[in-house]
A and B are shown apart, each in its own frame.
Chain A
Amino acid sequence: MADTPNQNTAPSVAKAMEGKPVEPSFAKATEGKPNAKATEGKPKRGFAGWWQKTTGEPLKLRDKIVLVVFAVVFLFVFYVSLDANKYPALVRVIAGEGAVGVNPTDRALDFGDLAQGTSAVRRVDIQNGTFMPVYVLVWETGSIAELMDVDKKAFRLGAHEGTKIEFSTYIPASAAVESKFNGRVYLFKIPTFGL
């Protein structure tokens, strides 16, 4: 059995079994040009391997481009969200005519206690200390958003420039006394990259 050449064996190996010198051709097959079929089946490592294992298909160039674009967009959004200024905003409705309570702090957009028909204004200084112009977007959330007005909701801020954003809250007649309105204000600074 040991002398019977395997039909699947490569010709060079078969020749070796017949007693002919085969070293050069054998060496060529293993060291020179690797057999394409032999390497194709080899499991890939890292992300490409994981991708192939998960999807059942090798990672194509198109997939790589989509993944890179997705990663760049994700990182950009992540950076902008992380870099955003976040302020808690709150106001309490109190009884009385024209009564304005004093309760503001500089850490939050605290409008204090306001009576129906009164309003209060808070200002936020914003400085662009970078060399790149940024696009500033103001986003209000929560119940106070319906009562609060912002003088500038979206604007461009040049490099090393600063400005003030004015937030005003008005308490209408239909706001119940002792009710509290709160929320958050986000200031997103989106780099324009010269656009």
Chain B
Amino acid sequence: MNPVLKKSLKIVLELVIYVGIFGGLLWGLPKGLSNYLKTPYPMAAITSGSMWPALAQGDLVFIRGEQTKETIAVGDVVVWRGEDGKGFVIHRVIEMREDTFITKGDANFTDDEPVGYEQLVGKAIALKNGKLFHIPYLGTVTTFASKQLQ
């Protein structure tokens, strides 16, 4: 085979492999996480400082889905969805009632309005020492990327 053609084919093949790996990661990782953590929203980017110092702006946290009144407790950091279905909030549970629970951002002075259990999306994954598992700055990247894709 012509050496130039052979080299070109090799470059194309490498390119296809790299694109395949990148695409696989981009598509497969969220899909895999989604299945493993049992939620359509396995990751959350922190866009405000309301949970500082536990979570800083730009952090990326992982969310475990299928949470109910029985599986969450006061002190847990949970993600809930607004009544209009838009927008997510990640705050700490400070009080649990019969039909609702109340959350508050660690850095906030005021509590959030009561939230129905049906609005619960999931619970932030914590390490054994109780600290939340988060990846600093990665949330900024994902937020930026999602804004560009919109």
A146/B107 in contact, CB under 8 A: no
Q: A173 at interface (Cβ–Cβ under 8 A)?
A: yes
Residue-by-residue, is A158-172 near B (CB-CB < 8 Å gives 1, otherwise 0)? 000000000000001
Q: How far is the CA of A116 from the CA of B107 in the complex (A)?
A: 9
A residues bordering B, Cβ < 8 Å? 116-117, 146-147, 172-175
Q: Give me 25 A-to-B residue pairs in the complex whose CB atoms sit less than 8 angstroms apart, sorted by A's number.
A: A116-B109, A117-B109, A146-B49, A146-B52, A146-B53, A146-B56, A146-B57, A147-B49, A147-B52, A172-B49, A172-B50, A172-B52, A172-B106, A172-B107, A172-B108, A173-B106, A173-B107, A173-B108, A173-B109, A174-B52, A174-B53, A174-B54, A174-B106, A174-B107, A175-B107
Q: How far is the CA of A174 from the CA of B57 in the complex (A)?
A: 15
Could you say which residues of chain A place their CB within 8 Å of the CB of B56?
Answer: 146
Taking chain B's interface residues, is the majority helix, strand, or loop, or is none over half, making it mixed?
A: loop
Size bracket, chain B contacts: 10 to 19
Nearest-CB distance from A60 to chain B (Å)? 23
Q: How far is the CA of A173 from the CA of B54 in the complex (A)?
A: 12
Known: A116-B109, A146-B49, A147-B49. 14 other contacts (CB 8 A): A117-B109, A146-B52, A146-B53, A146-B56, A146-B57, A147-B52, A172-B49, A172-B50, A172-B52, A172-B107, A173-B106, A174-B53, A174-B106, A174-B107
Nearest-CB distance from B74 to chain A (Å)? 17
Q: How far is the CA of A175 from the CA of B107 in the complex (A)?
A: 7
- Total contacts A to B, CB within 8 angstroms? 25
Q: How far is the CA of A117 from the CA of B108 in the complex (A)?
A: 9
The 6 closest A-B pairs by CB, nearest first: A172-B107, A174-B106, A174-B107, A173-B109, A146-B56, A173-B107
Nearest-CB distance from B97 to chain A (Å)? 22
Q: How far is the CA of A32 from the CA of B65 in the complex (A)?
A: 87
Of residues 40 through 68 on chain B, the ones whose CB sits less than 8 Å from some CB of chain A are 49-50, 52-54, 56-57
Could you say which residues of chain B place their CB within 8 Å of the CB of A172?
Answer: 49-50, 52, 106-108
